[in-house]
């Protein structure tokens, strides 16, 4: 009689919790005693990916540090919606910095703790893509280069959402923002090289770099936990869809993040000392159109006529990621899925 | 409030809990239970998703106890039920349906090996109910009536309990020790069984036994006949008596070449039985095509594997001595077979007619108010006949005839009988809305194809009455149970608790599910969108 080992857990680790898993295998977010570092009553929009990502990441860091954690927070959406004077949603020691200097402020806190002999208290710096890839980039690079003992978390929603959706160096090609209008021969943001910050962080050779999305909680928690196991500069880059800026329904936030990963447009991986150690494989490779179409910031690619040449260019970016990061291993039940994507974009 | 504050600070630090963001909401999430398609399709009304939930965590006794709330014979039904739940299973749209019958059978076999008993907790009602017929419907009714606290007596015309389960279903599909054990467990509830007790006049029997109500569940044991000219030496039998005589000491003498006439499951049962009794050839003659055969596809497939031959598009014209004459048919444009006049001869030592069965309704004569139509008794939605206090189910009433329907009738009738005896009316719970596949978020379910039940090798199937289908072992059964998507019913995956950006879902603990904190819920709908099983509904707020 054929037997299969009982390994199948119905929803495995795809869901936040799973009663079939042993307690020590369960996620931080499934725990009724989770820190809830970012508590109720904050003023983020409905379905905010950043609010979700911040609670996921900081709760995981709280568990990893045994609750001994200080956070420095760059100016940006996260800071504005969580701390309208005199209220705060933060249930951990938290300090607001300028837009561009959170890496430096966090470095200072870590140095002060060291001087005071409180090395067991850990330090997190967090900011959006504007505060990280644009304005705070110099301070952040310095923090990496000095290998300061800080975990820097970037919540990437691909534009300056708080001030009205202006483009940042993390805005993707063709996306419409307030400053990349939809007109002319190349509507929306330009097809440039962008600023691939995880890649730049890896180039500094720091102990740990990882990317994650709010669509895969278990992966995100594992990465924060791994990051907290290192001393020195660490960088975690989390994709957090923004219903307001991306033009999606509030209940689509997680689905959109999942599509960003499953199309290959947002590669999810981790690296130690500049070398990639693991990539999260695509479960079901999907065409980029599935990701682009639900977002109003890409509506001009489909109306009035589909702009095939632009969509194809974006598909090539996804194909390059799949190739470069080895994002896909073909399995028997979806054989040929990748070829189907490639044939449409001849790359 | 302190008088000495730092520069530019005038207010004390407060928590954002002061800010009730629930006021932003235009629609609110609400937890719902939806009706899983398997439950909806089960003629016995089993809470399949409900018992699979317990089997998933390995609590097989809890699973079995949920199962037997609706069906007291899981080991039997896991084997013989045609599992209409499985084609309905939403998992079929992902990979393959959950093998529900295999898990049910496993639970039934676990109950037997562990000696789990039924619990009779209800106080005695002092009412007496007569059940006529110890087939699946009668046994199910007796079981439920006993659990309601009534005193039950079964009158069975035959020498053994089981009805069609024993006299209609061959041993290779239902081993008799399995059947005997499940019947014994039901009777252990204190139900009196009187064998060889044919009820000739129902009203007389009720009066004599001082019964307050009766449930009639007489099976269709009379074979339908058709006129076939037959030679004096021709051996013509009917399927019912062939299968019945398999339960006696003397197996039927069918000869080396057996022809069975008919296209239903009974025809296949007889042909497969004949093969096991040593027939070299067992040929089924059926007047239409395979696609139009009423027998279930898996039974046709198993029969063909065992070497049963089927002659499609043929009717029997004459049963001669050692041979029968058949006429070839063609289907007309409406799909009805029409004669061609072309004749064939098939060598045959015996001919078995499997042309359908009827119920012996003679016990109903002289009962005022009863209406009989097309050989079955008319009943109302509460399974009561036109005569107050007499209820009927199973083969006796207008419905599809199979054991699962019969068991469902027994349960339904018992509920109405109980209410009738107490002078009330049974009000069925309102059915939940269907949990259709479109309501699920299948992303969350891990990939896991169906576990295949082992099958007996072909030589043993052709020569013995050993059970053809094997059971799942414990690890396979648990694996299979865990393939359940829990459609429409929360299985506490914590997704809503995790994905809420506003921390507005309260986790109440194992088995207690969750609660929304509407003070802070902004109504974004992420919980509903990311609920794997569709157990959250967004309801517009009255604004």
pLDDT at A249: 98
Closest CA to A280 of A262, A265, A266, A268: A268
pLDDT at A224: 98
pLDDT at A7: 58
Q: Are B97 and B77 in contact (CB under 8 A)?
A: no
Architecture, CATH, for domain A23-281: 3-Layer(aba) Sandwich (3.40)
**How far is the C-alpha of B307 from the C-alpha of B312, rounded, in Å?**
15
> C-alpha angle with apex A189: A185 to A194, nearest 5 degrees?
130
ipTM (interface predicted TM): 0.94
Question: Model confidence over B107-144: pLDDT tens digits?
Answer: 999 999 999 999 999 999 999 999 999 999 999 999 99
Ordered alpha helix ranges (H), chain A: 49-64, 77-82, 102-115, 129, 137-146, 197-203, 217-228, 243-246, 253-262, 288-292, 308-325, 337-343
Q: Using the beta-carbon criterion (under 8 Å), do A51 and B501 form an inter-chain contact?
A: yes
Which of B502, B504, B521 would you mutate first to test chain A, the one with the most A CBs within 10 A? Answer: B502
Q: Which chain A residues touch B510 with a CB distance below 8 Å?
A: 19
Residue B22 has pLDDT above 50, yes or no: yes
pLDDT at A1: 43
**How far is the C-alpha of A241 from the C-alpha of A51, rounded, in Å?**
10
Ordered alpha helix ranges (H), B295-382: 297-305
CA distance A184 to chain B (A): 35
> Does the CB of A95 have a partner CB in chain B at under 8 Å?
no
Q: Using the beta-carbon criterion (under 8 Å), do B493 and A9 form an inter-chain contact?
A: no
- Report residue A149 as tokens: 């003992």
Segment holding B258, helix H or strand E: strand B257-261
Residue found under tokens 């919790």:
A17
**How far is the C-alpha of B412 from the C-alpha of B144, rounded, in Å?**
9
Q: Are A36 and A59 in contact (CB under 8 A)?
A: yes
> Does the CB of A4 have a partner CB in chain B at under 8 Å?
yes
Nearest to B517 among A30, A40, A49 (CB): A40
> Does the CB of A32 have a partner CB in chain B at under 8 Å?
yes
CA distance A82 to chain B (A): 8
**How far is the C-alpha of A148 from the C-alpha of A103, rounded, in Å?**
9
Residues 100-129 of A with CB under 8 A from B: none
Dihedral of CA atoms A177, A182, A183, A186 in degrees, nearest 10, equals 90
Q: Are A134 and A169 in contact (CB under 8 A)?
A: yes
pLDDT in tens, chain A (347 residues): 444 455 578 888 899 999 998 888 899 999 999 999 999 999 999 999 999 999 999 999 999 999 999 999 999 999 999 999 899 999 999 999 999 999 999 999 999 999 999 999 999 999 999 999 999 999 999 999 999 999 999 999 999 999 999 999 999 999 999 999 998 888 999 998 779 999 999 999 999 999 999 999 999 999 999 999 999 999 999 999 999 999 999 999 999 999 999 999 999 999 999 999 999 999 888 999 999 999 999 999 999 999 999 999 999 999 999 999 999 987 665 666 667 766 655 54
- Report residue A232 as tokens: 């020195």
pLDDT at A344: 56
* Ordered structural domains, chain B, with CATH: 16-33+490-540 (3.30.70.20), 40-117+444-481 (1.10.1060.10), 128-222+358-421 (3.50.50.60), 224-356 (3.50.50.60)
What residues pair up with B323 in beta bridges, in sequence order? B347
Q: What DSSP string runs through A291-346?
A: HHTT-GGGGGGTSSS--HHHHHHHHHHHHHHHHHHT-----GGGTTHHHHHHHTTT
CA distance B240 to chain A (A): 35
């Amino acid at each position: 009689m054929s037997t299969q080992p009982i390994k199948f857990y119905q929803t495995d680790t795809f869901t936040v919790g799973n009663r079939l898993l042993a307690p020590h295998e369960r996620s931080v977010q499934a725990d009724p005693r989770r820190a809830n570092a970012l508590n109720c009553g904050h003023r983020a929009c409905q379905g905010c990916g950043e609010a979700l990502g911040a609670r996921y990441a900081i709760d995981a860091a709280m568990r990893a540090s045994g609750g001994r954690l200080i956070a420095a927070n760059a100016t940006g959406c996260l800071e504005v919606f969580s701390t309208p004077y005199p209220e705060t949603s933060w249930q951990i020691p938290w300090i607001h910095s300028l837009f561009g200097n959170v890496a430096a402020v966090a470095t200072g806190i870590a140095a002060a703790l060291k001087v005071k002999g409180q090395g067991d208290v850990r330090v997190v710096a967090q900011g959006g893509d504007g505060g990280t890839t644009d304005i705070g980039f110099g301070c952040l690079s310095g923090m990496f280069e000095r290998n300061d003992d800080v975990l820097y978390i970037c919540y990437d929603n691909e534009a300056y959402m708080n001030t009205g959706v202006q483009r940042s160096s993390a805005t993707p090609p063709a996306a419409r923002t307030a400053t990349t209008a939809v007109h002319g021969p190349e509507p929306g943001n330009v097809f440039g090289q962008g600023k691939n910050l995880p890649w730049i962080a890896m180039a500094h050779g720091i102990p740990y770099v990882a990317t994650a999305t709010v669509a895969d909680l278990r992966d995100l928690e594992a990465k924060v936990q791994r990051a907290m196991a290192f001393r020195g500069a660490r960088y975690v880059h989390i994709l957090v869809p923004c219903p307001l800026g991306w033009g999606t329904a509030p209940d689509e936030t997680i689905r959109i993040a999942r599509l960003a990963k499953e199309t290959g447009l947002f590669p999810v991986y981790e690296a130690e000392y500049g070398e990639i150690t693991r990539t999260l494989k695509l479960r079901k490779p999907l065409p980029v159109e599935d990701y682009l179409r639900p977002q109003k910031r890409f509506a001009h690619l489909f109306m009035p006529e589909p702009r095939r040449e632009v969509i194809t260019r974006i598909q090539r970016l996804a194909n390059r990621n799949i190739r470069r990061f080895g994002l896909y291993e073909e399995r028997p039940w979806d054989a040929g899925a990748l070829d189907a994507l490639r044939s449409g974009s001849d790359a | 409030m302190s008088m000495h504050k730092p520069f530019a600070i005038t207010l004390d630090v407060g928590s954002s809990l002061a800010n009730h963001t629930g006021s932003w909401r235009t629609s609110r999430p609400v937890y719902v239970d939806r009706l899983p398609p398997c439950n909806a399709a089960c003629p016995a009304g089993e809470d399949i998703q409900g018992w699979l939930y317990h089997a998933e965590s390995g609590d097989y006794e809890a699973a079995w106890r949920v199962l037997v709330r609706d069906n007291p014979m899981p080991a039997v039904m896991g084997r013989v039920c045609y599992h209409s739940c499985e084609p309905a299973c939403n998992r079929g749209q992902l990979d393959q349906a959950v093998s529900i019958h295999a898990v049910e059978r496993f639970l039934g076999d676990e109950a037997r090996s562990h000696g789990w008993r039924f619990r009779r907790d209800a106080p005695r009602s002092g009412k007496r109910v007569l059940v006529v017929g110890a087939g699946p419907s009668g046994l199910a009714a007796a079981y439920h009536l006993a659990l309601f606290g009534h005193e039950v007596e079964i009158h069975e015309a035959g020498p053994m309990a089981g009805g069609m389960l024993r006299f209609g279903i061959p041993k290779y599909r239902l081993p008799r020790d399995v059947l005997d054990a499940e019947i014994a467990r039901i009777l252990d509830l204190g139900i009196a069984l009187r064998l060889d007790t044919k009820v000739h006049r129902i009203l007389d029997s009720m009066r004599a036994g001082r019964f307050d109500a009766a449930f009639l569940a007489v099976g269709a044991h009379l074979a339908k006949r058709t006129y076939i000219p037959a030679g004096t030496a021709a051996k013509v039998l009917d399927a019912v008596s062939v299968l019945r005589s398999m339960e006696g000491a003397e197996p039927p003498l069918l000869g080396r070449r057996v022809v069975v006439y008919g296209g239903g499951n009974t025809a296949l049962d007889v042909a497969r039985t004949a093969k096991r009794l040593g027939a070299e050839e067992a040929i089924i003659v059926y007047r239409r095509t395979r696609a139009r055969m009423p027998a279930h596809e898996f039974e046709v497939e198993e029969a063909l594997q065992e070497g049963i031959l089927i002659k499609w598009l043929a009717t029997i014209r004459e049963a001669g001595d050692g041979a029968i004459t058949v006429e070839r048919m063609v289907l007309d444009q409406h799909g009805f077979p029409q004669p061609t006049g072309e004749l064939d001869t098939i060598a045959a030592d015996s001919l078995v007619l499997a042309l359908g069965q009827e119920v012996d309704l003679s016990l109903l004569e002289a009962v005022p108010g009863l209406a009989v139509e097309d050989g079955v008794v008319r009943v109302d939605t509460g399974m009561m006949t036109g005569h107050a206090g007499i209820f009927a189910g199973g083969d006796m009433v207008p419905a599809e005839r199979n054991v699962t329907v019969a068991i469902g009738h027994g349960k339904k009738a018992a509920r109405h009988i109980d209410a009738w005896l107490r002078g009330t009316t049974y009000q069925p719970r309102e059915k939940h809305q269907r949990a259709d596949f479109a309501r699920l978020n299948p992303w969350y379910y891990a990939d896991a194809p169906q576990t295949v039940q082992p099958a007996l090798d072909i030589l043993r199937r052709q020569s013995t009455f050993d059970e053809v289908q094997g059971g799942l072992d414990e690890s396979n059964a648990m694996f299979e149970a865990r393939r359940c998507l829990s459609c429409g019913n929360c299985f506490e995956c914590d997704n809503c608790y995790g994905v809420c950006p506003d921390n507005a879902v309260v986790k109440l603990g194992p088995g207690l599910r969750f609660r929304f904190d509407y003070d802070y819920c902004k109504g974004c709908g992420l919980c509903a969108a990311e609920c794997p099983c569709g157990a959250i509904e967004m309801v517009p707020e009255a604004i």
